[in-house]
């Protein structure tokens, strides 16, 4: 497997292509299909490329158990809830998926989802998603990854918490099914929200190099800066959780990006793409009109034929209509071949030995 590009609905994703921007709805529907559809519409207006869901039920991802190991510790966002309680609240009903997908597709957006078990893989295949996402917490489930790979669709795999061996095992699980399968890895920090100092964005080009696949960023930080920086370092896809308002009481609201912020992010990324450009030296088209204001050699005192050029009567100043300043030392000590008026840009026909 050695492919720095993947194709989602014939959209090419990889180096030199527009950054593929994914709006993760996750639990921000807050239990309402109407709200989910509203989010899709708002995300379309923000300029994203794709909508992503999460496909599980509480029973496919955990069991209903309230012992200590099944309870989220601490005072954080989900602290004190059992896993079953959290996932019962956060899941997206499977019967909504096709409606959300049809809405997204009607707006020109891709729609795919994170599959958390084999039944989710099969369900998503039936509604013809163009790709599968594997979440960070499932990156070590090589059986799930291998099963998703049997569908011969692009796999987008998040790598939060994963070491190089974990990622390598995930890649081998895909390769063991079909060496031609398309994979995109996401650099990710599985904290909610993630602190900027934990992001280690310089891993992105290194990850792409050692695994020979395109790499994006699944970004759980607040704000836009980290995603924009990732694009400048070579991230080819950005995934951000999105909500209508962080003041909502949904399980994912507090670390999600509001829709107007998503539009700002899309605009910033598109500007960064323009700014990255290509390897280039010389005046750009926007600079050419300013070449006249570069320094050049200008006669600064009236000169008679035969008069010697000195540092007083020939200087490197603006504007840029004379010979280049690199010739100054070569011309000093030579003679004027004709009468030259102060303010004249010097040219070779005005100089004699």
For residue range 146-162, list pLDDT tens digits in order.
999 999 999 999 999 99
Burial class (CB in 10 A: 0-12, 13-18, 19+), 187: buried
Residues with Cβ within 8 Å of residue 299, at least 6 apart in sequence? 313, 314, 340, 341, 342, 343, 344, 345, 346, 350
Residue-wise pLDDT for 166-188, tens only, equals 999 999 999 999 888 999 999 99
**Per-residue pLDDT averaged across 282-287, rounded?**
95
With 60 as the cut, is the pLDDT of residue 15 above it?
A: yes
Nearest to 188 by CA among 144, 136, 223: 136
Reported pTM: 0.91
Taking the alpha carbons of 303, 305, 311, 317 in that order, is the dihedral positive or negative?
A: positive
Phi, psi of 270 (to 5 degrees): -65, -35
Whether residue 79 is predicted with pLDDT greater than 90 in this model: the reply is: no
Measured in degrees and rounded to the nearest 5, phi and psi for residue 276 equal -65, -40
Are 155 and 6 in contact, with CB atoms under 8 Å apart? no
Spell out the domains of the chain, with CATH numbers in brackets: 10-56+91-276 (3.20.20.70), 288-352 (3.90.1210.10)
**How does pLDDT run across 260-270, given as a tens digit for each residue?**
999 999 999 99
Nearest one of 179, 92, 266 to 257, comparing CA atoms: 266
239: exposed, middle or buried (C-beta count within 10 Å: 0-12, 13-18, 19+)? buried
pLDDT cut 90: percent of the chain above it: 93
* Residue-level pLDDT at 250: 83
Q: Write down the pLDDT at residue 74.
A: 85
Distances in Å between the Cα of 179 and the Cα atoms of 172, 188, 236 are 9, 24, 22
Residues 6 or more apart whose CB falls under 8 angstroms from that of 178 comprise: 149, 150, 152
d(CA 353, CA 263): 65
């Amino acid at each position: 497997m050695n492919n720095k590009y993947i194709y989602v609905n014939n959209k090419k994703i990889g180096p030199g292509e527009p950054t593929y921007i994914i709006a993760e709805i996750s639990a921000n529907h807050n239990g309402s299909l109407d709200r989910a559809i509203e989010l899709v519409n708002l995300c379309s207006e923000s300029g994203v490329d794709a909508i992503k869901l999460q496909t599980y039920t509480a029973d496919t991802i955990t069991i209903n158990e309230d012992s200590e190991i099944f309870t989220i510790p601490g005072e954080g966002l989900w602290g004190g809830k059992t896993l079953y309680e959290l996932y019962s609240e956060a899941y997206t009903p499977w019967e909504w998926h096709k409606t959300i997908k049809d809405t997204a597709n009607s707006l020109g957006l891709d729609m795919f989802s994170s599959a958390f078990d084999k039944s989710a893989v099969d369900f998503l295949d039936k509604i013809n998603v163009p790709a599968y996402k594997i979440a960070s917490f499932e990156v070590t489930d090589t059986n799930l990854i291998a099963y998703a790979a049997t569908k011969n669709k692009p796999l987008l795999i998040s790598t939060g918490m994963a070491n190089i061996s974990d990622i390598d095992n995930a890649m081998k699980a895909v390769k063991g099914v079909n060496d031609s399968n398309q994979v995109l890895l996401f650099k990710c920090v599985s904290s909610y929200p993630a602190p900027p100092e934990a992001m280690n964005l310089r891993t992105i080009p290194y990850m792409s190099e050692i695994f020979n696949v395109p790499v994006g960023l699944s970004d759980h930080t607040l704000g836009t800066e980290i995603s924009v920086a990732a694009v400048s370092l070579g991230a080819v896809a950005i995934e951000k959780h999105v909500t209508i308002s962080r003041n909502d009481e949904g399980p994912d609201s507090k670390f999600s990006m509001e829709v107007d912020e998503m539009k700002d992010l899309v605009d910033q990324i598109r500007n960064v793409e323009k700014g990255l450009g290509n390897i280039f030296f010389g005046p750009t088209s926007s600079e050419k009109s300013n070449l006249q204001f570069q320094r050049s050699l200008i006669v600064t005192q009236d000169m008679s034929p035969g008069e010697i050029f000195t540092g007083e009567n020939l200087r490197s100043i603006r504007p840029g209509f004379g010979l280049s300043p690199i010739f100054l030392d070569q011309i000093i000590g030579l003679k004027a071949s004709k009468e030259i008026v102060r303010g004249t840009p010097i040219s070779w026909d005005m100089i004699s030995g």
